[in-house]
Amino acid sequence: MLTSHELFGFMSANLANEILSFTHESDRPTYKAALGAVAQARHVRPVFLERQPRAQCHAAIISTLSKPALEAAAGGLIRVWLVKKQRPMLVDFLNALGLPNNEGVVDDLPATMDDARLKSAIDALLVKYPGEAVAVYLNAFNDMNEANWVNLKTMLESDKRLQLGAAA
């Protein structure tokens, strides 16, 4: 199971850029907070990064987000991308698990999940959505929620379809 900063370290540059671009367009406060955290970690002012061409700025942000000190910033970006852009995937997963949700958001998760139901839900996601996006979501889901299902952790570590960085 990967944490948010580790996800940025292993995901493809295309997906990382998609997350940053989406957040830049749809949630400026989260983007600005991440930019500020990256600037601080790089010992530069945020305006220095902002004045760079977008591709160069995003490359600097992505490489820095993979550092443990930027876990909060990385997590914020991933959460915004998941909840706002990937909502159908979240809803499909939770519905397949039989968990009541409010547009992909759950208040209380069970402490455990049935192996067969979890495998079936993951298989359905992988048929419908890009594998890399599914892997990011499931890692984030298990890392950011209090449930932290052991069987999901095992699947994330052993199922080749859920491995990040293999094709990169």
pLDDT tens digits along 90-132:
999 999 999 999 988 888 889 889 999 999 999 999 999 999 9
Per-residue pLDDT reduced to its tens digit, 139-150? 999 888 777 899
Q: Is the pLDDT of residue 68 over 60?
A: yes
Which amino acid, one-letter code, is at 109?
A: L
pTM for the predicted model, two decimal places: 0.90
24-57 pLDDT, tens per residue?
A: 999 999 999 999 999 999 999 999 999 999 999 9
pLDDT band at 167 (very low <50, low <70, confident <90, very high): very low
Whole-angstrom Cα distance, residue 122 to residue 22?
25
What confidence score (pLDDT) does residue 144 get?
Answer: 80
Residue 63 has what pLDDT? Answer: 93
Q: Where are the domains of the chain?
A: 4-85, 87-162
Per-residue model confidence (pLDDT) at position 129: 96
pLDDT at residue 31, as a whole number: 95
For the segment 49-73, the average pLDDT, to the nearest whole number, is 94
pLDDT attached to residue 42:
95
Q: Is the pLDDT of residue 166 over 70?
A: no
**CB contact set of 130 (below 8 Å; sequence gap of 6+):** none
| pLDDT surpasses 90 at 73 | yes
Query: HEC states along 6-51?
Result: HHHHHCCHHHHHHHHHHHHHHCHHHHHHHHHHHHHHHCCCHHHHHC
- Alpha-carbon span 45 to 163, nearest angstrom: 35
Q: Is 43 left (phi over 0), alpha (psi -120 to 50) or beta?
A: left
Residues in the chain: 168
168 pLDDT exceeds 60? no
Residue 83 confidence (pLDDT): 93
